[in-house]
């Protein structure tokens, strides 16, 4: 594993830690390169039901390491942050960003690629290419617009100003703000809840919602998952557990059939 980025797995939750606190967890070129492979390993691990992305030392990430920007910031398709972002967005299981401190630039790009974003009340957010004269990648811009709308996206990208967690929640960049020092406890509880639910339902939801937002074939995606549900009996176990007033033991843990 490359220095500055590592993963831990416990009780169904895979935690990816950006761990370079002396640089406010700025992502080096090697860290960007290694993230897709790390995610592949977690996706293949059947013990992992949900992934939490977080930072060490009180910050999420200050973005790309400016000293390595010429290596990181390539053309749009091979841009290292874009490749990592696409891998995170395509991760088949639920993903949750747990955000403390600074979540800026490429850090905000990674957080936006997660399914959900929880933050401490004193977290700070910004997207800063306008400070450097850079063009923000097309995929990241598209994702941002879908999250916060065109006006808020322009506000963030035009100004490069930092905003607080309250404003980030208001515009849709965040899903929940946690007061005090309760972020890690809240995220752990929520991740535990997700890990207990049907992975088939979650993965189907992710595919269908992504198809809707991308303007793709929603009916075809939904039918594919209905067929998968019928074939594996996930719903049979869920209904039986409900009627018997017990916790379900969902049988589906893997990749859908072709």
* pLDDT of residue 216 exceeding 90: no
% of the chain at pLDDT higher than 70: 95
Query: Tens of pLDDT along 84-119?
Result: 999 999 999 999 999 999 999 999 999 999 999 999
d(CA 241, CA 250): 9
CA 143 → CA 28, 74, 115, 176, distances in Å? Answer: 22, 19, 11, 19
pLDDT of residue 256: 67
Task: Give the pLDDT band of residue 253 (cuts 50, 70, 90).
Answer: confident
* pLDDT of residue 162 exceeding 90: yes
d(CA 4, CA 8): 13
First to last CA, the chain: 32
d(CA 252, CA 258): 15
pLDDT of residue 206: 96
Mean pLDDT for 33-59 is 96
- CB contact at 8 A, 81 and 32: yes
Kindly report the pTM of this predicted structure: 0.94
Task: Give the pLDDT band of residue 149 (cuts 50, 70, 90).
Answer: very high
Query: Tens of pLDDT along 165-207?
Result: 999 999 999 999 999 999 999 999 999 999 999 999 999 999 9
Residue 257 is given by DSSP the state P
């Amino acid at each position: 594993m490359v220095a500055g980025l590592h993963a831990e797995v416990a009780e169904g939750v895979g935690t990816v830690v950006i761990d370079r606190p002396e640089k406010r967890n700025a992502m080096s070129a090697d860290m960007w390169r290694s993230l897709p492979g790390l995610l592949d390993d977690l996706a293949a691990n059947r013990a992992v039901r949900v992934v939490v992305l977080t930072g060490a030392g009180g910050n999420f990430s200050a973005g790309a390491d400016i000293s390595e920007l010429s290596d990181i910031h390539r053309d749009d398709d091979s841009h290292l942050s874009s490749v990592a972002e696409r891998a995170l967005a395509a991760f088949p299981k639920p993903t949750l960003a747990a955000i403390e401190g600074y979540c800026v630039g490429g850090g905000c790009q990674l957080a936006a690629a997660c399914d959900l974003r929880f933050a401490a009340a004193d977290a700070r957010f910004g997207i800063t290419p306008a400070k450097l004269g850079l063009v923000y990648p097309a995929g990241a811009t598209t994702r941002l617009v879908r999250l916060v709308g065109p006006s808020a996206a322009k506000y963030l990208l035009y100004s490069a100003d930092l905003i607080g967690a309250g404003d980030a929640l208001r515009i849709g960049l965040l899903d929940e703000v946690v007061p005090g020092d309760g972020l890690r406890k809240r995220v752990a509880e929520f991740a535990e809840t997700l890990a207990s639910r049907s992975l088939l339902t979650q993965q189907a939801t992710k595919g269908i919602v992504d198809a809707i937002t991308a303007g793709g074939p929603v009916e075809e995606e939904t039918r594919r998952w209905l067929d998968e549900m019928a074939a594996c009996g996930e719903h049979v176990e869920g209904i039986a557990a409900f009627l018997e007033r017990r916790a379900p033991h969902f049988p589906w843990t893997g990749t859908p059939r072709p």
